[in-house]
A and B are shown apart, each in its own frame.
Chain A
Amino acid sequence: GENVEQHPSTLSVQEGDSAVIKCTYSDSASNYFPWYKQELGKGPQLIIDIRSNVGEKKDQRIAVTLNKTAKHFSLHITETQPEDSAVYFCAASKGSNTGKLIFGQGTTLQVKP
């Protein structure tokens, strides 16, 4: 079946460094790719998303890139801050009107001050 693989599972960076999280999806019909940030005890919050007609999207320190041919998409966080520490999930649409998303397994990002 369809799945999304996310790497790495944990990532530790120094404050001010960049962080990159990568995802690979299998469903060629996927054309919508959101990223979520989940803080402890909270629900995931949408931080950025990209659609298949765009190769890159940026919002301040966060950017997402998409390579549809290779079925890869990545999250880039620049100038990381301690408050960026959280679990990050990528997801891919399931190509139907149900709006279902297939989620990666998550990356725990720790930003050390």
Chain B
Amino acid sequence: SQTIHQWPATLVQPVGSPLSLECTVEGTSNPNLYWYRQAAGRGLQLLFYSVGIGQISSEVPQNLSASRPQDRQFILSSKKLLLSDSGFYLCAWARQGGNQPQHFGDGTRLSIL
């Protein structure tokens, strides 16, 4: 069966520090991968998606970047965090081809001080 792992589960970082959040998927190959941010009590905002290794599409202009160095690894990064980067970050995967369910990890709660 397929599983998705995100870490860390929680993170507290000072303003201006770098960020690296990692997501890995097991049990499937060549998945579509997604990064979302969820503000408290709000919906899901798609940040990045990837349909293959090294292929990253950005949905909104922001202080963050994403990379996909391996087929089942998706990384969310920042060189300098802003207060506004606080939130709940979720990674998801789906089978290729569209019209497929996305399967989510349990997220990383990021607090910027």
- CA A96 to CA B49, docked complex, whole Å: 13
* Min CB–CB distance B109 → chain A (angstroms): 8
Which secondary structure dominates chain A's binding surface? loop
Tell me the A42-78 residues at the B interface (CB within 8 Å): 42-46, 49, 51
> Chain B residues near A89 (CB, 8 Å)?
43-44
> Chain B residues near A32 (CB, 8 Å)?
98-100
**Given A34-B101, A105-B42, A98 and B107 touching (CB < 8 A)?**
no
- CA A32 to CA B99, docked complex, whole Å: 5
- For A18-51 the 0/1 string (1 means CB < 8 A from B) is 0000000000000110101000011111100101
- The number of chain A residues with a CB under 8 A from chain B is 25
> Chain B residues near A43 (CB, 8 Å)?
6, 90, 92, 104-107
- CA A64 to CA B95, docked complex, whole Å: 22
Summed over the interface, the residue pairs from A and B with CB atoms below 8 Å come to a total of: 66
List the B residue with the shortest CB-CB distance to A30. Answer: B99
**Given A42-B107, A43-B104, A43-B107, A98 and B43 touching (CB < 8 A)?**
no
B105 touches A98 (CB 8 A): no
Task: State whether the Cβ of B24 lies closer than 8 Å to any Cβ in chain A.
Answer: no
A103 touches B43 (CB 8 A): yes
- The number of chain B residues with a CB under 8 A from chain A is 27
**Given A98-B32, A103-B43, A105-B43, A46 and B96 touching (CB < 8 A)?**
no
> Chain B residues near A106 (CB, 8 Å)?
42-43
- For A86-111 the 0/1 string (1 means CB < 8 A from B) is 00010001011111110111100000
B-contacting residues of A (Cβ < 8 Å)? Answer: 31-32, 34, 36, 41-46, 49, 51, 89, 93, 95-101, 103-106
A-contacting residues of B (Cβ < 8 Å)? Answer: 6, 32, 34, 42-44, 46, 49, 51, 57, 90, 92, 94-107, 109
